[in-house]
């Protein structure tokens, strides 16, 4: 196993690299008003651009998870940083100076599809690397710091890119995001550990066909189904919170950018707190109920706040309620990933890819389906309907058990 200093360095580097990747991932949502204006795109059309990323990201989760079990994290993240830099820059150059303006939407589809393919190994690889560097009793806490990149990247992106887009245009804002990914790649090249060694862990013997047996695990199916719904909720806020505040709640652009950053700043603390509480609960309640406790409570409460945020006439109460909902949804990330590594201690990449496939299938549907529903029944009803998914996501955890031998 890597030494303690190396493990700490790995966590810090993974936080930096995945945060930069998340900036590039969500940058297009911040500059979306400019893109929509220049190319004459509707909300529904912009939703298909968001979903194009998730199509590539989702389809390559299981292959990329298997890849993470075979190829070192160092080489994978070098390739990821290069891909993020190139594709974010290409997004900023789409239909430049009117070139092939009629093909702007297909260009965006293709670039975002490829961005999803390139990004697919990110979290399976990170979780796999951490499983080799940290003992199982600390997995939720170690994962929580890296998964906090979701909050760091999402909070930093509107604060950095909204002023750039306002003053210099959306293309310049995307080029700045590309430069950040390039810098993260240089840091990773210079400081990332070169080798990881598999720790000695107690695991059931592999069956004749370990991949097929793992993917038939009831615990992994329940966990993945819950993650599907959790991600459906989460991606509404990733892709539509900023536009919802601007176009539905009628906030000024920079004020909306500040409010959009709030939930992600909060999750920088909430995600590690969720991991800490989950690890503490495992000690006090046992593996199964310990891992269940945080998702059951947080996802149930998230549904309540989502209904309140959708239905209140006060725009500021809506911001507060929807922020609370986002924080509660994302603080369950660590229990999901820690549970996955306990279900598959020696095949974390493959299991993580399978679970993330389900999650991003929900995320792929969400950005396109949400505005479609809102255009027909209104945002209030669409978000209220979505709240019921939070309760179902919580209840599915009752099917996840860690006190029985998994294949």
pLDDT at 209: 45
In a domain, 197, yes or no: no
Q: Are 148 and 21 in contact (CB under 8 A)?
A: no
In a domain, 407, yes or no: no
In a domain, 65, yes or no: yes
Q: Are 108 and 94 in contact (CB under 8 A)?
A: yes
Span 339-355, pLDDT tens digits: 887 887 666 667 777 88
User: Residue 178: which domain range?
Assistant: 4-192+210-399
Of the pLDDT bands very low, low, confident and very high (cuts 50, 70, 90), residue 381 is: confident
> Which among 233, 174, 170 is positioned nearest to 363, based on CA atoms?
233
What is the Cα–Cα distance from 347 to 351, expressed in whole angstroms? 6
Number of domains observed in the structure of the chain = 1
Span 188-218, pLDDT tens digits: 998 887 765 444 334 444 444 444 455 567 8
In a domain, 404, yes or no: no
* CA angle, 120 then 206 then 117, to 5°: 10
Q: Are 76 and 125 in contact (CB under 8 A)?
A: yes
> Which among 233, 230, 213 is positioned nearest to 351, based on CA atoms?
213
In a domain, 405, yes or no: no
In a domain, 199, yes or no: no
Span 244-267, pLDDT tens digits: 888 788 787 778 877 877 777 787
Dihedral sign for Cα 345, 350, 353, 354, please: negative
Q: Are 116 and 91 in contact (CB under 8 A)?
A: no
In a domain, 204, yes or no: no
CATH number of the domain residue 323 falls in: 1.20.1250.20
In a domain, 69, yes or no: yes
């Amino acid at each position: 196993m890597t030494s303690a200093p190396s493990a700490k360095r790995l966590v810090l580097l993974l936080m930096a690299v995945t945060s930069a990747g998340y900036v590039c991932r969500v940058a297009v949502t911040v500059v979306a008003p400019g893109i929509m204006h220049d190319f004459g795109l509707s909300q529904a059309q912009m939703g298909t651009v968001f979903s194009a990323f998730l199509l590539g990201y989702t389809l390559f989760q299981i292959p990329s998870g298997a890849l993470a079990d075979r190829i070192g994290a160092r080489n994978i993240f070098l390739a990821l940083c290069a891909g993020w830099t190139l594709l974010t820059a290409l997004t900023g150059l789409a239909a430049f100076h009117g070139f092939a303006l009629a093909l702007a939407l297909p260009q965006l589809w293709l670039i975002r599809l490829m961005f999803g393919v390139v990004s697919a190994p990110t979290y399976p690889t990170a979780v796999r690397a951490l499983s080799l560097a940290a003992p199982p009793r600390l997995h939720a806490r170690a994962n929580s710091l890296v998964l906090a990149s979701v909050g760091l990247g999402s909070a930093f992106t509107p604060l950095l890119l909204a002023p750039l887009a306002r003053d210099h245009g959306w293309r310049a804002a995307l080029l700045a995001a590309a430069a950040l990914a390039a810098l993260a790649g240089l840091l990773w090249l210079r400081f990332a550990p070169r080798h990881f060694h598999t720790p000695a862990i107690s695991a059931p013997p592999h069956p004749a066909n370990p991949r097929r047996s793992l993917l038939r695990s009831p615990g992994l199916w329940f966990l993945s189904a819950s993650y599907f719904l959790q991600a459906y909720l989460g991606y509404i806020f990733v892709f539509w919170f900023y536009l919802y505040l601007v176009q539905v709640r009628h906030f000024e652009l920079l004020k909306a950018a500040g409010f959009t950053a709030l939930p992600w700043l909060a999750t920088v603390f909430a995600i590690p707190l969720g991991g800490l509480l989950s690890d503490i609960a495992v000690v006090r309640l046992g593996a199964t109920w310990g891992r269940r406790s945080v998702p059951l409570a947080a996802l149930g409460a998230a549904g309540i706040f989502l209904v309140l945020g959708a239905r209140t006439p006060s725009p500021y109460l809506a911001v507060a309620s929807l922020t609370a909902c986002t924080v509660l949804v994302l603080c369950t990330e660590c229990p999901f990933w820690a549970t996955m590594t306990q279900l598959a201690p020696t095949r974390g990449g493959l299991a993580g890819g399978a679970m993330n496939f389900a999650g991003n299938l929900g995320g792929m549907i969400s950005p396109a389906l949400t505005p479609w529903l809102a255009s027909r029944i209104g945002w209030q009803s669409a978000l209220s309907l979505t709240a019921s998914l939070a309760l179902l996501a919580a209840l599915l955890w009752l099917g996840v058990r860690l006190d029985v031998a998994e294949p």
